[in-house]
Amino acid sequence: MPFDIHILSLKDILDILLVAFLLYKTYKLMKSSGSINIFIGILVFIVIWVIVSQVLQMRLLGSIFDKLVSVGVIALIVLFQDEIRHFLLSLGSRHRSNGLFRFLKGNKKGETQKEDIMPIVMACLNMSKGKVGALIVIEKDFPLDDIVRTGDVIDANVNQRLIENIFFKNSPLHDGAMIISHKRIKAAGCILPVSHNLDIPKELGLRHRAALGVSQETDAMAVIVSEETGGISIAYKGQFHLKLSAEELERMLTNKTE
C-alpha cells in the first residue's frame, strides 16, 4: 500500500486543537466530580483499542473492541449523565447573562447592585464572627425548584437579619441550605446533592460537600460559613474558594471574577 503523505492543513490543526480542548474539558469535569480514575481508564482503553485495531490491525480482537466501544458509548452516557448535563449547562450558561446572578435578574447587564448582595455579605461576616454555620445557594440560570421543594418555602426579601435569624443555632430552619433566587429568599432547610469528590480535604464535612455538590450539578454559587472555624468559603463551578476575606466574598458575589 503506498504511503500517503498528508500535509497538515489549517483544518487539521483546528481539528487537533478542538479534540485537545474537549479532552481537557472532560478531564477537568471528571476531576471535579471525582471520576478521574474512570477518565484515565477510558483513555487507556482507547489507546489499546487504537493500537489493536489501527496499528496492529488484529481483526478478531479489533472487532470485539469495536463492539465494546459501540455499547460503551451508551453505558458512558448513562454513567455520566450528571457530568454531561453539567458540561452542556456550563456551555449554555456561558452565553447567557454574562455571569449575572439570576437573583439579580431585572438589572441590566453589568449593573449588579451592591445593595443586593450586601445583606448576604454582612450576614455571612456576622455569622462568621459568631461561628454560626450557614449554607446559602444563589441560583443562576439553572432552576433550583427541585431543591427548593426539599425545604420550607419562605419567599421573602433578602434581608441580613432574616438570614442570620434562619441560621441561628436554635432556629427550626437552621439545618440545610437557604436558596436565594430572583432577589428573594426562596426557601430554607433545603437538602443539596452531596459531592462524592475524593479530593475534598478531610477537615471539610458535609456542609462543604453539599455546597460543592450543588455547584457541580448546577451553575449556582454556594456560600458556606463554617461552624467550626467561622471561615467563609464559596463553591462555584465545582471548585472551592476557601477562607475568603470580606472583599473577596463581595467580589465573588458581584461576579467580578468571571
Ligand X SMILES: Nc1ncnc2c1ncn2[C@@H]1O[C@H](COP(=O)(O)OP(=O)(O)OP(=O)(O)O)[C@@H](O)[C@H]1O
Q: Which of 32, 195, 216, 226 binds ligand X (CB under 6 A)?
A: 226
Q: Name the residue type at position 107.
A: N
Q: How far apart are CA 91 and CA 84, in angstroms?
A: 11
Strand partners, 233: 224
CB under 6 A: which stretch of 82-90, 95-103, 108-116, 223-231 binds ligand X?
223-231
Q: How far apart are CA 81 and CA 71, in angstroms?
A: 16
The answer to whether 177 contacts ligand X (rule: CB under 6 A) is yes
The answer to whether 76 contacts ligand X (rule: CB under 6 A) is no
Q: ∠221-224-226 over CA atoms, to 5°?
A: 170
CB under 6 A: which stretch of 71-79, 114-122, 171-179, 235-243 binds ligand X?
171-179
The answer to whether 207 contacts ligand X (rule: CB under 6 A) is yes
CB under 6 A: which stretch of 36-44, 51-59, 95-103, 188-196 binds ligand X?
188-196
Q: Which positions from 131 through 160 interact with ligand X, judged by CB under 6 A?
A: 133, 135
Measured in residues, the chain has a length of 258
Q: Name the residue type at position 87.
A: F
The answer to whether 82 contacts ligand X (rule: CB under 6 A) is no
Name which of 104 and 188 has its Cβ closer to ligand X. 188
CB under 6 A: which stretch of 11-19, 101-109, 157-165, 175-183 binds ligand X?
175-183
The answer to whether 166 contacts ligand X (rule: CB under 6 A) is no
Q: For residue 25, how many C-alpha atoms fall within 13 Å in the half-sphere facing its CB? A: 13
CB under 6 A: which stretch of 95-103, 122-130, 157-165, 172-180 binds ligand X?
172-180
Q: Which of 175, 182, 242, 248 binds ligand X (CB under 6 A)?
A: 175
Name which of 207 and 254 has its Cβ closer to ligand X. 207
**Neighbour-count burial for 234-251, b at 16+ CB within 10 Å, e otherwise:** bbbebebbbebeeeebbe
Q: Which of 100, 120, 163, 204 binds ligand X (CB under 6 A)?
A: 204
Q: Give the interface with ligand X as residue ranges (CB under 6 A).
A: 133, 135, 175-177, 191-192, 194, 204-208, 210, 226-228
